[in-house]
Structure 1
Amino acid sequence: MPDVIFPGPEGRLEGRYQHGRGEKPPIALMMHPHPQHGGTMNNKLIYHVYQTFARQGFSVLRFNFRGVGRSQGEFDRGEGELSDAASALDWLQTYNPGSSSCWIAGFSFGAWIGMQLLMRRPEISGFISVAPPANMFDFTFLAPCPSSGLILQGDSDDVVPEASVQKLVNKLSQQRDITVDYRIIEQANHFFTNRLDILNEHIADYLQKNVPELAGTATDPAD
């Protein structure tokens, strides 16, 4: 799993990259939780989601937002972090020209950034949002949501109440030609402690069913 450094809007950004299988593998970008609350690309949940995408054959990148780890810059309330994510996706596409499809995945704050990136980048095929903080941040920009995707939420989350995510899902599900697969994981808190294996199974199942070129290709990643 090579360390990578690539240019961002405020200087260098730090990431970890795993190249996929085949000539034109699908690509996926991971976005971590809130930088001011300890969120980094090495967050346990993000690492597990990264590995799940890698096992499915994706070229996958996780990275640190500005001001985290070796990434330069300072926290910018989400505006700058969205620009960081766009730069990360640019880098990922540069190393995977003609990729078969493009996916994003985010956890908590990273899910909010990811959904904004979804609105700006029409090439994104689908999304995975884990515990999107619908009680803390405004998601009304998803009007309409341009892609279908999977939202995962724990029923014991004391940071993001399940009811707030259900309300978001209900709104998105009213849109034409968009299917939001909403899966609630029992006894899971905000960090899915002791439930990460179940989370991974749901993501792998969703990808196998919704990324045609992956059918029957899952393996262990090289790292």
Structure 2
Amino acid sequence: MPDVIFNGPEGRLEGRYYHSKQANAPVALMLHPHPQHGGTMNNKVVYTLFHAYVRQGFSVLRFNFRGVGRSQGSFDRGEGELSDAASALDWLQAYNQGAAACWIAGFSFGAWIGMQLLMRRPEISGFISIAPPANMHDFSFLAPCPSSGLILQGDADDVVPEPSVAKLVAKLSSQRGITIDYRLIPGAGHFFQNEMEQLEGHIDDYLTKVMAADENASAAR
């Protein structure tokens, strides 16, 4: 898994990158949890997401936000981190011109950043958000949400209570033209310590279904 260094708004950003052997492979960007609470690109949930996309044939990048690991700069309350994510997506797309599709995935703080990036980059065609912090941040910017996606949540999460996420899902699901697949993992807390296999199973299942549907739609054209 090659280490990569690329330019961000406040200096160099550190990442890990997997390049698919498939021609015109889709690309996916992974976003980690809160930098001030121990979040890094090596978080177990982010690592699980990363390898799920690799198994589906994507070229995948995960990286450290500013001030984390070898990434330069310092925490910027989400505004700078959104700029970091945009720079990471720029790097990923420049390295994969002609990619068949573009996805974003994030956990907790990373899910919040990812959903903001989704609104700014129309080329993003799908997303996975794990434990989006709907109790801490206003997600009303998703009006309308431009892409279908998967939202995963533990029903025993004491950091992001499930009812706040369910409310967000209900709001998004009322919008036309998109489908939100909302899946609850029983007994799981915020970090899915004992439920990583279940989490991985849901991610694999969702990506397999969506990719198969895309292939069938392309074949029918």
The TM-score normalised by the length of structure 2 is 0.95
8 Å CA contact 1:208, 1:214 repeated in 2: no
Q: How does 1:86-105 map to 2 (within 5 A)?
A: 86-105=86-105
Q: Deviations over 1:62-108 (max 9, x none)?
A: 00000000000110000000000000000000111110000000000
In 2, the alpha carbon distance for the partners of 1:7 and 1:199 equals: 32
Q: How does 1:69-218 map to 2 (within 5 A)?
A: 69-212=69-212
8 Å CA contact 1:29, 1:60 repeated in 2: yes
In 1, the alpha carbon distance for the partners of 2:91 and 2:172 equals: 30
In 2, the alpha carbon distance for the partners of 1:160 and 1:20 equals: 34
8 Å CA contact 1:57, 1:214 repeated in 2: no
Matched residue type, 1:52: A
CA drift at 1:20: 1.3
CA drift at 1:187: 1.1
Q: Deviations over 1:23-66 (max 9, x none)?
A: 11110000000000000001111111101111111100000000
In 2, the alpha carbon distance for the partners of 1:157 and 1:214 equals: 33
Q: Deviations over 1:104-126 (max 9, x none)?
A: 00000000000000000000010
Matched-pair identity in %:
75
8 Å CA contact 1:12, 1:71 repeated in 2: yes
In 1, the alpha carbon distance for the partners of 2:213 and 2:56 equals: 10
Matched residue type, 1:112: W
Q: Deviations over 1:143-198 (max 9, x none)?
A: 11000000000011010000000000000001000110000011111001111111
In the alignment, which residue of structure 1 is the partner of 2:30? 30
In the alignment, which residue of structure 2 is the partner of 1:4? 4
Q: What are structure 1's unaligned runs of at least 5 residues?
A: 216-223
8 Å CA contact 1:131, 1:190 repeated in 2: yes
Cα distance, 1:106–1:48 mapped onto 2, change above 3 Å: same
1:211 aligned counterpart, secondary structure? helix
8 Å CA contact 1:56, 1:214 repeated in 2: no
Q: Does 1:44 align with 2:31?
A: no
1:77 aligned counterpart, secondary structure? coil
In the alignment, which residue of structure 2 is the partner of 1:67? 67
RMSD: 1.1
Q: Does 1:53 align with 2:49?
A: no
Higher relative contact order (CA 8 A, sep 6+): 1
Q: What are structure 2's unaligned runs of at least 5 residues?
A: 216-221
CA drift at 1:211: 2.0
CA drift at 1:214: 7.9
